[in-house]
Amino acid sequence: MSDGQKYRYRIAKALAHSSNEKGVLVFDEFSSMLDRDTAKVVAYMLQKVIRAGRKTLLVATAHDDLDDLMPDVLISKGYGSSIR
């Protein structure tokens, strides 16, 4: 399996293990192993699953092109003390 396939498998596994629970999933460096087009598709489908399951998703990423996650709250940390 490629690194991208392994990453998508881990996302699916995390979702499957939390399917009966309401709670928070935390993904660090979300989709960093994926090409940008695939990352956008995964982000869109992930937000649909999370919203349907009424879960909370906390994502940390260095990429700013994942608008498909459609976050309710977005915190952007810039260089130095800049936080938006």
Looking at per-residue confidence, does 20 or 80 come out higher?
80
Residue 58 covered by a domain? yes
Residue 47 covered by a domain? yes
pTM of the model: 0.78
Residue 74 covered by a domain? no
Residue 56 covered by a domain? yes
Q: What is the pLDDT of residue 74?
A: 85
Q: What is the pLDDT of residue 48?
A: 92
- Cα(27)–Cα(12) distance, rounded to whole angstroms? 12
pLDDT in tens, 28-63: 887 888 888 988 898 899 999 888 888 888 888 888
Residue 7 covered by a domain? yes
Q: Residue 24 is part of which domain span?
A: 3-69
> Count of domains in the chain?
1
- Cα(24)–Cα(60) distance, rounded to whole angstroms? 13
Q: 3-state class of 73 per DSSP?
A: coil
